[in-house]
Amino acid sequence: MRKIAIYGKGGIGKSTTSANLSVSLANKGLRILQIGCDPKHDSTRTITGNFIPTVLELWRESEKTQTAITKKMVLHHGYKGVACIEAGGPEPGVGCAGRGIIRMLDILEDLDIFQGGYDLIIFDVLGDVVCGGFAKPIQTGYSQEIYIITSGEFMSLYAANNISYAINKVGQSRGVRLGGIICNSRAIEREEALVCEFAERIGSRLLHFVPRDLLIQKFERYAKTVVEAAPESNPAQGYATLADKIYHNQDFRIPSPLSFDELITLCENYDEVESVHK
């Protein structure tokens, strides 16, 4: 069983990518479990067709009623039988979302969720901050393979660089490796070249480039992945290619993140090239 974590800046397309990746892998006959580790609890909506109860909601209710949480309560299934779990978050204005991830993982361990005979488990993790509970998949070996999603936007690359710091710090002791960078395009000029150079500069590689396509967002409004709703479309075929790359990937590395000044200079170099063309 392989355990994969998808990290990236909030809003960069982690959940979209994770969901389409999960169903693409399921289309190959693999047993997949996707675990949403974002307080927005929307990671699996396009797989199941709806928001599912979160582990933390169920836990809070169980504390009030003194009833036990069961596997059936937390585990839901969607398209192609993909198993789905959402961590959830604390009540608004109360508690720490990162600590909620830690509690969720403890509950899943108690329920033997990870012993379900899955081929791959995919953690969809908020990556703006890689501390506390959000770093748990990296720190404790819940996931040995990390993939970072970014665009060519500076703050997205900044978050990706911070995530590579976290992998670098624990990679040697925990056996965690970076499997590559996935660029979820924002249609920025020379974006693919910029992200490719960023990946190479940190000692990794650009694993896959996802072109911007409004078809993906269109079907998200109807709570469906583009892989399910339009399997012959270009974006669906692109996610199938990404699934192949990840499934067959054997190139895992410990990244060497850039300094802040190096990252600034890299992005400025591409700004200068853009200004010449303009």
Catalytic-residue membership of 224 = no
The CA distance from 266 to 257, in Å, is 13
Angle at 181 between CA 20 and CA 214, to 5 degrees: 40
Active site residue 14: yes
Distance CA(64)–CA(15), nearest Å, equals 31
> Which candidate in 42, 119, 128, 213 is catalytic?
128
In angstroms, rounded to a whole number, what is the distance separating the alpha carbons of residues 234 and 250?
A: 26
**Selected catalytic residue, list 14, 80, 136, 224:** 14
Active site includes 40? yes
CA distance 265 to 259: 10
Catalytic residue among 3, 28, 38, 40: 40
Contact 48, 76 (CB under 8 A): yes
42 catalytic? Reply is no
DSSP letters along 32-51, please? EEEEEESTT--TTHHHHSS-
The catalytic site residues sit at 9, 14, 40, 128
